[in-house]
Amino acid sequence: MSRNFRSDLSDPDRFIITMELVPKAESTGRSINTVLEFSKQALNDGRLSAVSITDNPGGNPSLSPDVLGKEILDSGIDVIVHVTCRDMNRMGIESRALQLRRMGMNNILALTGDYSGKGFGGQGAPVFDLDSVNLLCFFNMMNQKSEDSDHFFKGCAVSPFKWTEPECYAQYYKLRKKISTGADFIITQLGYDARKYYELIQFLKNNDLKIPALASVYLLTPRVARVMNSGRIPGTVVSKELYMKILEEWKSDKRTGYFASVDRAAKLAAICKGLGYRGIHIGGIHRNFKTVKRILDRMAEIENSWQDFLKEFDYSQPDHYYMYEKNKQSALSSDILAPKNSKATSFHKLHFKFLHSIHNSLFSINTPHAAIYKKISRQLYQNSGIVYHLVKFFEDVLKKILLNCQQCGDCGIEYPGFLCPESGCPKHMRNGACGGSRKGKCEVYPDRFCIWYLAYQRFALIEKTENMATACAPPRMWELNKTSSWINFHLGRDHHTKLCSIAGACNTGLCSPKKQTVKTDRIK
């Protein structure tokens, strides 16, 4: 193999170039041949360290990145395989990980994944047994158990392009968890705001998080820009102003529009290199590798003048939130943190404070009555008589009213500020927001707020939004489904104990943030 992504990334003097390949729903044919040809040309070009292969993008079926990745790997260029949590439960994911290791594909981009799209007979059932934080923890544990020297090299994604305070902090709090659970590199989501790109670099630097970051750079055409502007591709941000500009560029002459898009991608790549990114991740090129060459050649011509292009990538609006105050001398940000002004509604204030007080009284490991609760719970559990069923019935009714409880038996409401991640989030996220929310609204159900948007506002009431960065949640224990989570908690049967292997790893420090500033109880 002529290039190795891991070794290239370890070289501080090398600027990394990777490219995203998107297979279609076929095992042979023109699109697959194009992907294979792209990888061959990338190898011959010599500037790319790896190609990445998507895993059923948009939740729709396509050729497995594993089989295609193996073919590309054998041709001589390194591969980053996307692994998502949407389509497999934890056993399926573990089986796939063993397969990837056997095939020699050790570069992983760990993602929660888009929501399920349509397959045979209609929409597929979304799994989301794990989230991206759990997935990284899993690969990290596999590395620790393996006797092989060639371990998994694990990447994660983050979106710096959030326009509300809760979403912005939720992304970075979750990023801290991802780094803590073993992420080795970062690839950003897509946006066109230089100040937001810089915000991620500032966050990593100010929190002493030494992890290389690659910035996504995309060739925007009018069709793709329209879809991104409408919010139909989760995690991507194209403003209306930019969309109208692209329409104007392509209006009279497609060739003029094409070269304007190439120039824009090259300028953004040069800016990201100047801001301190370790590399770029090129996407949106599906027909001709010459476009990649043109972007890289143009970038090489202008990279020393990157500051001249900053104003071309300023699409902020008055209501957009930035983590850092604006630098008056440039189009970027200063190192001064911006004020936090997000507030919960009256309903959420009352709801949160009520459940928080219940936790302090009944479900804190530090409560003076913990031994009594444990004794009562043991008696109820062992007898399983009418009293047990009355308690279970009362719990189910109360939690259904307060939380729309799904009776999982392994309650995780403490993580999103006493909101139920099973009923409130279509992806059942226990470790923070996905990248798909838009203006605080859920990616899947845009008529409702993301529960992590609400969680930030609720934790802000007690000035403990940092809980969202430090309280790492192991995955749900399905063996407890439809049992009493109250009794399970007090008997030490749920995920808060070391009975779960991942919970045990987290409790011994594997998943503890390197800069843990808030110590949290097992709140319930």
Please check the confidence at residue 322 and state whether its pLDDT lies above 80. yes
Report pLDDT digits (tens) over 218-248. 999 999 999 999 988 988 999 999 999 999 9
CB within 8 A of 273, min separation 6: which ones?
Answer: 15, 280, 299, 303, 306
Distance CA 442, CA 321 (A): 18
Could you tell me the pLDDT band of residue 499, with boundaries at 50, 70 and 90? low
Could you tell me the pLDDT band of residue 356, with boundaries at 50, 70 and 90? very high
Please check the confidence at residue 420 and state whether its pLDDT lies above 90. yes
Percent of the chain with pLDDT over 90: 74
Give me the numbers of helices (H) and strands (E) for the chain, helices first please. Answer: 19, 12
**Which of 110-119, 174-183, 356-365, 396-405 comes out lowest in average pLDDT?**
356-365
Res 153: pLDDT? 97
Could you tell me the pLDDT band of residue 503, with boundaries at 50, 70 and 90? low
Please check the confidence at residue 8 and state whether its pLDDT lies above 70. yes
Please check the confidence at residue 522 and state whether its pLDDT lies above 60. no
Report pLDDT digits (tens) over 100-132. 999 999 999 999 999 998 888 999 999 999 999
φ, ψ (nearest 5 deg) of residue 212: -70, 140
Please check the confidence at residue 283 and state whether its pLDDT lies above 80. yes
pTM of the model: 0.93
Could you tell me the pLDDT band of residue 521, with boundaries at 50, 70 and 90? very low
Q: Which three-class secondary structure string do you get for 187-241?
A: EECCCCCHHHHHHHHHHHHHCCCCCCEEEEEECCCHHHHHHHHCCCCCCCCCCHH
Please check the confidence at residue 3 and state whether its pLDDT lies above 90. no
The predicted model gives 429-438 an average pLDDT of: 94
CB within 8 A of 318, min separation 6: which ones?
Answer: none
Res 388: pLDDT? 85
Question: Residue 326: helix, strand or coil by DSSP?
Answer: strand
Which two three-digit tokens encode residue 283?
Answer: 């996407």
Res 383: pLDDT? 78
Report pLDDT digits (tens) over 284-310. 998 889 999 999 999 999 999 999 999
Which two three-digit tokens encode residue 176?
Answer: 């801290």
Please check the confidence at residue 148 and state whether its pLDDT lies above 80. no
**Which of 126-135, 255-264, 316-325 comes out lowest in average pLDDT?**
316-325
Distance CA 69, CA 93 (A): 17
Report pLDDT digits (tens) over 18-40. 999 999 888 777 788 888 999 99
Res 507: pLDDT? 47
Res 164: pLDDT? 95
Distance CA 280, CA 283 (A): 10
**Which of 256-265, 373-382, 434-443 comes out lowest in average pLDDT?**
373-382
Report pLDDT digits (tens) over 337-347. 999 999 899 99
Could you tell me the pLDDT band of residue 367, with boundaries at 50, 70 and 90? confident
Inter-residue contact 513 to 181 (CB < 8 Å): no
Mean per-residue pLDDT of the chain = 90
- Name the residue ranges covered by the structural domains of the chain: 346-507
Inter-residue contact 431 to 170 (CB < 8 Å): no
Based on the number of CB atoms within 10 Å of its own CB, is 437 exposed (0-12), middle (13-18) or buried (19 or more)? buried
The pairing of strands 79-84 and 50-53 is parallel
Please check the confidence at residue 500 and state whether its pLDDT lies above 60. no
The predicted model gives 494-507 an average pLDDT of: 62
Res 364: pLDDT? 79
Res 515: pLDDT? 38
What angle is formed at CA 156 by the lines to CA 240 and CA 99, rounded to 5 degrees? 125
Other Cβ atoms less than 10 A from the Cβ of 314: the count is: 13
Q: Is 245 left (phi over 0), alpha (psi -120 to 50) or beta?
A: alpha
Res 504: pLDDT? 53
What angle is formed at CA 16 by the lines to CA 169 and CA 268, rounded to 5 degrees? 60
CB within 8 A of 73, min separation 6: which ones?
Answer: 1, 79, 103, 104, 105
Please name which of 58, 82, 88 lies closest in space to residue 69, comparing C-alpha atoms. Answer: 82
Res 27: pLDDT? 79
Distance CA 524, CA 508 (A): 21
Distance CA 489, CA 493 (A): 6
Res 502: pLDDT? 61
Inter-residue contact 62 to 54 (CB < 8 Å): yes
**Which of 2-6, 129-133, 191-195 comes out lowest in average pLDDT?**
2-6
Q: Is 34 left (phi over 0), alpha (psi -120 to 50) or beta?
A: alpha
CB within 8 A of 397, min separation 6: which ones?
Answer: none
Which two three-digit tokens encode residue 383?
Answer: 């007898």
Distance CA 436, CA 444 (A): 8
Question: Residue 510: helix, strand or coil by DSSP?
Answer: coil
Could you tell me the pLDDT band of residue 498, with boundaries at 50, 70 and 90? low
Per DSSP, helices labelled H in 276-413 are 290-302, 346-362, 370-383, 386-403
Res 311: pLDDT? 93
Please check the confidence at residue 69 and state whether its pLDDT lies above 60. yes
Inter-residue contact 465 to 173 (CB < 8 Å): yes
